[in-house]
């Protein structure tokens, strides 16, 4: 697993044809958090549902795990690696860092 900062992810998503491929943005926050704010195109899968729903995530794509501050996503990223996913990232600082460093229009909570 690798760590990725919000500006690094923003740069990756801005690439027209990323060499690393288009990532799956796996948002593992709870429903109310996801409804408050989310990165566009995110796949919402609350942390507690990941063991049952992991098959919904494309194993061949890079997976960026996202939560509020980066702790839950760190645990999910480790879980996915143990399940055989090989290209997994944790968004350090989570959506909070995204809102503060990339998109100041995004609500914070």
Which of 33, 26, 14, 22 has its CA nearest to residue 55? 26
Of the residues 37, 38, 45, 67, only one is catalytic, namely: 67
The C-alpha angle 3, 66, 34, rounded to 5 degrees, equals 165
Which one-letter DSSP state was computed for residue 92? T
Query: Is 67 tagged catalytic?
Result: yes
Concatenating the DSSP letter of every residue in 72-84 gives HHHHHHHHHHHTT
What is the set of active-site residues? 67
């Amino acid at each position: 697993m690798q760590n990725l900062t919000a500006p690094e992810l923003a740069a990756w998503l801005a690439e027209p044809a990323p060499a690393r491929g288009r990532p799956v943005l796996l948002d593992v926050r709870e429903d109310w958090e996801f409804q408050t704010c989310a990165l566009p195109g995110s796949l919402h899968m609350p942390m507690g549902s990941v063991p049952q729903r992991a098959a919904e995530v494309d194993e061949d794509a890079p997976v960026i795990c996202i939560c509020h501050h980066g702790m839950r996503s760190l645990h999910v990223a480790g879980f996915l690696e143990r399940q055989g996913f090989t290209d997994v990232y944790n968004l350090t600082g989570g959506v909070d860092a995204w809102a503060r460093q990339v998109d100041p229009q995004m609500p914070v909570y």
